[in-house]
Structure formats: structure tokens, C-alpha cells
Structure 1
Amino acid sequence: MRWISGIGYAVRAIIIDSLVWLSQTISGKANLEYILDQKSPTPSAKTLKIEEIFRNHSNTKLRNLEWDSGEETEEAEGLLVDINENEKRIDFSRRLADKMRQIKGYQKLCDEVEKHRLVVYDNANPEHEKKLMRLWKLMKTDEELKSRKTNQWQSIGFQGDDPATDFRGMGMLGLDELLFIAKYDMDNCKRLFLISHHPVIGFPYAICGITITALTRDLLRSGLLKNHFYNALHGKPNMDNFHQVYCRIFILFCEFWEKEHPETIMDFNPIKAKFVERLEAYLKRPNANLFHATLNDIILY
């Protein structure tokens, strides 16, 4: 019966370890020092563990991630004040502050993206109209618009004669992301635009791009982009980083669409659902990094 007592001992050990871990998590300090000291397989693994400690912390300010940007160094020093060795305390405080900037930065990015999405496209706003005209010129370098409202817009994938109606769900965020890939990743933009005009597997480019904006926003808000951002960036993410993720997801989706070779545009939603399932599985990987991901990385997981 020794094996039974052995199991009992193991169970007791697990319970004791769990209680110790819980007490350290609540107090935060000892566990933070341990996490900062240990090697992690990926940068995101360490950042997520630290975030988990904060989410369970007895301090309401830390639990709700309510410190202000710029306070990270001071907060980190306060959390690690019990480390006696001065050089070690300074080093750990710096490392913890860096992680706190990432955590707070992700939260602020969620707010910034949502704020941007809620800006309604306004035909009477000169800046909005200027951006829309800029998009046309980038996509159709050799063709002039005959008028502001024209079926020419359908040639770049809008549904009707006035693109403003297609931005209702994503607001100015949808336009700015279409503009971002056209301005800063023109080679890929041209490649995707070419696929969208394929006689068999073609799709409305602009509408697809706005759909990818909605997907990227959903992934951000659900926390599924944390592994990517915590691995890909040393500092806090910003709107340009979000737009870059949008570009990567748009590219990967179009490659996936091309590989699936749909018979009709009616296959769009089922193929998109299949892609999202694979993408979400990839993003849950501790080493997820969309800046390095290929279609095979998405498909094979």
C-alpha cells in the first residue's frame, strides 16, 4: 500500500505548493521576483504571468491596471522594495517596468482602437474626404474619378456608388486601415488587389479589407493579440503596430482564400470562419508572432 501513501504525499505536496503560490500571487512580491528571475521560453510567457499576478493582486490599482502611463518605474520599484541587493533590485525594477508598459500599452491600444472606430465617416468633413480620395489615387493611379459618387468605387471593392455607407460598422478605422496598407505595403496591396480581380476567385477588395479590420479589432479586444504583441515588441504597442497586424492578417487571409480556391463568392463566410479558427489557434501559441508567421504556420497548427 506504499503507492497509496505515496500518492497521498504527492497530493499534499501539490496542495501545499498551490497554497504557497496563491499566497505569493495575492501578495505579488515574492512571485514577481521569481518570474523576473526565471528564464521563459518566450517574452509573452513572462509578461502574461506578470499580468496574471496583477489581475489577482490585493491592490485594486494593480488588479485593474489603473496606473497611469509613465508611472511604471515608480510602481515597479515599490513592488520590489524588499529585494535587499541594490543592483538586483534596480535591474528587476527596470525589467518589471518594461513589462508593465507592455501590459498597460495593450489596454490603452484597445481603448484607442475603439475610439477610432467610433468616429463616423462624414462626407462634410474635408479630412475624411481627403483620405478617401487618397485611397482612390493609390489604388487607381491611372484613372480619374468622374464624380464623388460613382460606380467606379465598385472597381476597388465598395458595394455602391458612395463608399461612406460601407464604413458604418468600422468608422474611420476601416478607411485608415485600407489607406495604411496602400501607403506602406504597396507591393502586397497590389498582389491582394490582383487576387480580388481574379475571374473565378475574385472578391470585393475594400469590403474584404473592412471585414479584416473588424476581425483584427475582435482579436485585440479578446486578448488574442497579446502573445503577438508581447513577443514582437519590446515596448508598448501603438496604432501603427495595430495597422501592421491588420496588414499581416489581410495578407494571410487572401493567401488562404487563394489556397482554398472557392467556386463562388458565396463561399466567403465559410472560408473566413475556417481561417479565423486556424488563426485563433495560432495566436494562442506562446511563440505567436504575426510579423514572422507564414500561411503554413496558420494552416498546420
Structure 2
Amino acid sequence: MKLRMLLAGLALAFAGSGSASAEDIKLGFITKFPVPFFATMENAAKAYAEANPGVEIVYGQGTSATDIEGQIALIESMVTQGVQGIAITPVDPTVASTLDKAIEAGVKVVLMDNNIPDWDGRTALATTDNYNAGKIAGGYLKSVLKDGDTLGILEGVPGVPSLDDRVNGMLEGLEGVNVNIVGRGATNCTEELGINVAEDLLTANPDLRAIYAACGPPAAGAARAITNAGIANDDIVLVGFDFCCGEEEALEAGTEDATVAQFPSKMAELGVDALVKAIRGEKVESLIDSGAALVTKDNMAEFK
């Protein structure tokens, strides 16, 4: 409840900040694919536009975590529609060349959710520090595992920096406990592949002690796989990331032990506000951290 009140006040705070008091601005807002996390981001951008009447936002979304061509088409379409800036959650680093063309046309770009490595075209990056957020997950696992325990990892999309950071950060947070990693597999951040990879891990390792999922949908998929296998909640530890897409139900049921929450509303609002300010010639920070926190059954009401 406290979080909802905080986020509800963000748009009002931005409305009163004076950042949207000059000439009208037209923006593009592009998210990766249809899951609640990105729907929340889009709703936050709509709330910002409603609170700031001089800001018009055109919205677009890809179809999947690997829809590179779809995202490229959205960028090109928005440039054609005359946007002055684009706030985007880049699905893959290869969209950078299309963003370069947008910049050449005078469009400013703010990245959200994840960075594009070695690309210097962005005006700002509004994101969770995914490496540090991964360390939060690793710290929890360290607190409940012991030397010799086994761990399986459900990756997101290997090669996407933010998703890789969630795994690498988790591994650093886990340091100090000698855990055996018995398998890891890509899920493309889908529940279906989360079920499949988790089932394979459980079949190959009947005494598997823990599973870490780098995205919300695969975490929900792993919870289903654990339930389908008839494994008692106390016999395995499941930790996810995102607090979305079925994780609330898994935490309530006790199948999932913990997850890491991002703040998508805050991320979107900070990203759009930075873009508006940059277009109007105001100084903005290059890196804007929207934060992360550990969520368990005991405290999840604070994050709904």
C-alpha cells in the first residue's frame, strides 16, 4: 500500500516540477513484449502524460523477448510520426543502429530497463541496477543454502546485458557458500520454457535443492514444475526476479520463497521525465537507478 501511494504521487510531483511547462512535446514509448511488468511501465507513462498535458506519447510494443525486427519497425515508425524523443526498453543491442538513425534525425533516446553496451547514443538510462539486484537474490540464497547444496539456474535471454547481470550478480551474492550449479538454461523469459527447463533440471537432479529464475514468468513456470513433480515446498528453494506474472500466487502458496522486485512505474516515469527535460535543454543524469528490493510472502503486500 505504501508503494502504491508513493508511485501515485510521482506523476503529481512531476506535474508540479515545471518540467512540462514549455512547448508541447511528442514522444515515443516502446516496451519489449506483453507481460504485466511492461504494461505497468506503459500505464505509468500514460499517467505522466495525463499529468503533463503538453506531453503527447505514442506507444508501441514488441511481441516477444526476441522480437528484434518488430522493435526496429516501431522505432522507424515513430521517427516517421515526428516524435522528438524515444523512451525504449531495448530488446537486443542490435537495435542500436536503428536508434543511431533516429538520433541523426534529431530524436533523443532514453533507454529504460536495460542498457546497450558500448553504445554512447543514449541521453540517459533509467533502470534497475540489475547486477546489484541479482546480488540481493544471491544474498537470500546464501542465507538458506549450505555447502554442497545444488542449484539450477533459469536464465532469461543470454546475451541481453540486464538479464545476464541478474545471474552474475546472484552468483556474487552467493559467494561464501560452496554450492554446486548442476545446470542452467535459457528461457527467453517465458513461463513455458521456464516449465521445460525446470522439469529437465528436476528430472536430472532428483535432490535439487534450489532454483533461481532471472525473470518472473520462468519463476512462475518453475513453481508449476515443482508442484507437478509433487515436491514439498520445504524440500526446494525457489527464488525469482520481477515479482510478476504468477509469482504472487507462487509466494502465497509457499512454492516460491522469494523474488526481487523492480519498480517499473518509477522506472518509466523517471525515464519519460528525463526525456522531456533533455528535449527542453535541461541537464539530466546519465544513469538513473529506480531501485530494487527483496520480496517474500511476509512483505509482498507492500509491493502490490
Settle same-fold status: TM greater than 0.5.
no
Higher helix share: 1
Scaled by the length of structure 1, the TM-score of the pair is 0.26
Scaled by the length of structure 2, the TM-score of the pair is 0.25
The one of the two structures with greater contact order (alpha-carbon pairs below 8 A, sep at least 6) is 2
